[in-house]
Amino acid sequence: MSFSLSGIASGLDTNTIISQLMQLERIPYTKLETKKKDYNTELSVFRSINTKLAALRSAADDLRLNSNFNLMGVKSSDESVVKAVGSDGLQEGTFLIEVEQLATYTTLVSKGFNASGNDLKNLGSVEFTINGETIQVDFTKETNEENLALLANAINSESEAGVKASVIQIAPGKKALLLTAKESGETDIELGNAGFLGTTDTKPGKNAIFKLNGIQMQSSTNEIKDFVSGLTITLFKENATATITIAKDVDKVAAKVEAFVQAYNDVINTIRTNTAKGAQLQGDSTLRSLQDQLYNLFTSGVGQDGEAGYQYLYQIGLEIDKGKLKGSEMTGTITFDKEKFKQALLDNPDAVYKLFAHDSATDEEDGIAQKFSNSLLVWTRSGSGILASRIDGYNNQISFITKQMEDMEVRLQKKEEQLKKQFNNMESALLSLQNQMSWLSAQLNSLAFSTKA
What is the model's pLDDT at position 184?
A: 96
Q: What is the pLDDT of residues 143-175, one digit of tens each?
A: 999 999 999 999 999 989 999 999 999 999 999
Give the span between the Cα atoms of 268 and 262, in whole angstroms: 10
* Interacting residues of 56 by C-beta distance below 8 A, sequence separation 6+: 260, 263, 264, 266, 267, 372, 376
Separation CA 194–CA 192 (nearest Å)? 5
Of residues 417 and 246, more confidence is placed in 246
Q: What is the pLDDT of residue 360?
A: 75
- C-alpha torsion angle, residues 19, 22, 24, 29 (rounded to 10): -130
214-237 residue pLDDT tens: 999 999 999 998 788 889 999 999
Residues 242 and 238: their CA atoms lie apart, in Å, by 11
Name the CA dihedral angle for 324, 329, 334, 337, rounded to a multiple of 10 degrees.
-50
Confidence of residue 343 (pLDDT cuts 50, 70, 90): very high
Alpha-helical regions (H) of 65-178? 144-156
Query: In the predicted model, what is the mean pLDDT of the chain?
Result: 89
Instruction: Tell me what pLDDT residue 18 has.
Output: 76
**What is the tally of helices (H) and strands (E) in the chain?**
9, 18
Please work out, in degrees rounded to the nearest 5, the angle formed at the alpha carbon of residue 268 by the alpha carbons of 267 and 272: 120
> So what's the pLDDT on residue 1?
44
pLDDT band at residue 451 using 50, 70 and 90 as cut-offs: low
Give residue 204's identity as a one-letter amino acid code: P
Question: What's this model's pTM, rounded to 2 decimal places?
Answer: 0.69
Sign of the CA dihedral running 362, 366, 371, 377? negative
Residues with Cβ within 8 Å of residue 36, at least 6 apart in sequence: 398, 401, 402, 405
**What is the pLDDT at residue 307?**
56
Structural contact between residues 181 and 107, judged by C-beta atoms closer than 8 angstroms: yes
- Which residues are CB-neighbours of 249 under 8 A, at least 6 positions away? 71, 72, 73
